[in-house]
Each structure stands twice: as C-alpha cells, then as structure tokens.
Amino acid sequence: MIVETLADMVIDASKQEVRDVYSLAIRSTISELHDNAATNMIRAVYPKLAKGLKVGKDEVKEECLEILAEIFRKFHVILNKVNNLIPKDELLK
C-alpha cells in the first residue's frame, strides 16, 4: 500500500526536508478515502505512526499526530465500531 510507504518516510529522520510533503500526501489520501477502505488503511498505517510517536524527533511526532488527528476526524465512527483497530488505551498514554 502506498500510504504505508509514505508513513515510513514520515517517520524516517533522514527525510526531514520532504517529511511535510509525505504527511500532506497521507492526509490528502485520508480525506479522499471511502469508509470501506479505511479499516485496511488504518491497520497498515497506525503501527508506523505509533512508532514515530515513541521514538521520533519532535518534528516526526508532530507529523504523526497530525495524521492521526485526520484519521480520527474522518473515521471516528469506524474507530468506535471496530474494536482493536487502534489500541486506544496505548494511544492515550
């Protein structure tokens, strides 16, 4: 999935100059994504974003949070309906 590759590039510390472009591409994809495909995309991208939140630089964390915020805004109903799609307790920590 292309979004997975983009997420890898967002959390890659060496991609500093183009990180915002990759993040914007992911957020644009999210805004155009239909609800039927959201579950697979979230399952693919969330682990990478969670990794960026744990071990990334502040700039990486900021981009990961922006992408997650977009996912929550667009797919909050799906996140509530599908258990264990995102480990909410882990994310709150």
Q: Which structural domain range is residue 43 located in? A: 2-92
Residue 43: its pLDDT value, please?
A: 92
| Overall domain count for the chain | 1
What HEC string does 38-82 produce? HHHHHHHHHHHHHHHHHHCCHHHHHHHHHHHHHHHHHHHHHHHHC
Q: Tell me what pLDDT residue 68 has.
A: 94
- pLDDT at position 33 over 80: yes
Read off the pLDDT band of 93 (50, 70, 90).
Answer: low
